[in-house]
Amino acid sequence: MAFLPLDLQHPHLVVVDGSKLVRKLLTGMMSKILPDAVVTECENGEQAKAVLLAQPVHLLVTALALPDMDGTALAAFAREQSTQSYFPIIVVSGEVQERLEQRSLSQHVTDYFDKTWGMEALASFIKGYIAPEEEVGGEVLYIEDSRVVAAATMRMMKKHGLGVQHVMSVEDALVLIDEALQAGRKLPDIVLSDVYLKGDLTGMDLLKIVRQDKAINKRQLPIVVMTGDSDPRNQKQLIQLGANDLVQKPIEERLLITKLLFQLRMGQRSRRDPA
């Protein structure tokens, strides 16, 4: 399966719930708030799995208790089997507080929503992921060895209010990360890196060093990788090594900025409400 590009003008939302009534209510509410969205309803996990493997999905909303599996098992399948980007997965349940108290929340789930808050609140909650009203700021550590490409990409990011620190190699980026760690300073808000660079280290090496050697997780330091490689096996390896998301080259501005802002938003949320 090839890399699945997002169509952000017509986001594809998947709703999974054993109750036909709940699915219809939720689909109706989302259609009002996101009129351009395409919503696919699934009554169980197996139907959702087939959808996830067959077409791009921009957000998955699932009940915690499904007729054939736990919603967190579906979330794990979505993360482990899909070569797609890191799209939001929201689990809806009346047991959110209980799971928080038991520390039994899944790492594969982006967020949990307490269904007692109501469908309208859930629809607005979902809109915050797909079509937020405000952009977020942040500092991007950008690794790119082509000055021409770097200049164009930095213009895109700065136009949307992002600060950018540009370096030419993974080695230079690791120096900055190590300096921040040793001095107790804040890490960059996000890293944007090409895969193939002129130095000895590649974007893949960056992921291995940051995630494995330095044990810095996806929430502490989001990493978005730019790649011109359309081989799904190589793309899947990048995700497995710890990339939060992939952007296919040549870079399309709307797609790049949307992915960066989403990861920045998730990073800010985790720092504000640490798990």
Half-sphere exposure of 114 (CA within 13 A, CB side): 8
| Rounded Cα distance, 198 and 146, in Å | 9
Q: Crossing angle, helix 253-272 and helix 147-159, to 10 degrees? A: 60
Other beta carbons less than 10 A from residue 259's beta carbon: 22
| Rounded Cα distance, 142 and 159, in Å | 15
Domains of the chain from N-terminus onward: 12-130 (3.40.50.2300), 138-272 (3.40.50.2300)
Answer yes or no: are the C-beta atoms of 197 and 174 closer than 8 Å.
no
pLDDT score recorded for residue 103: 41
Torsion, CA 203, CA 263, CA 78, CA 238, rounded to 10? 0
pLDDT score recorded for residue 261: 81
pLDDT score recorded for residue 165: 98
pLDDT score recorded for residue 91: 87
pLDDT score recorded for residue 273: 58
| Rounded Cα distance, 196 and 260, in Å | 20
Core vs surface per residue 93-125: b (16+ CB within 10 A) or e: beebeebeeeeeebebbbbbbebeeebeebbee
Q: What share of the chain is helix, strand, coil (3-state, %, to 5)?
A: 45, 20, 35
pLDDT score recorded for residue 104: 52
pLDDT score recorded for residue 256: 86
275 residues of the chain, pLDDT tens digit each? 233 344 456 788 999 999 999 999 888 888 888 888 899 999 999 999 999 988 888 889 999 899 999 998 999 899 887 655 668 888 888 775 565 444 455 667 777 777 777 777 777 677 766 766 556 689 999 999 999 999 999 999 998 889 999 999 999 999 999 999 999 999 999 999 999 998 899 999 999 999 999 999 988 999 999 988 877 778 778 888 999 888 888 887 877 887 788 788 777 766 665 54
pLDDT score recorded for residue 4: 38
| Rounded Cα distance, 211 and 84, in Å | 20
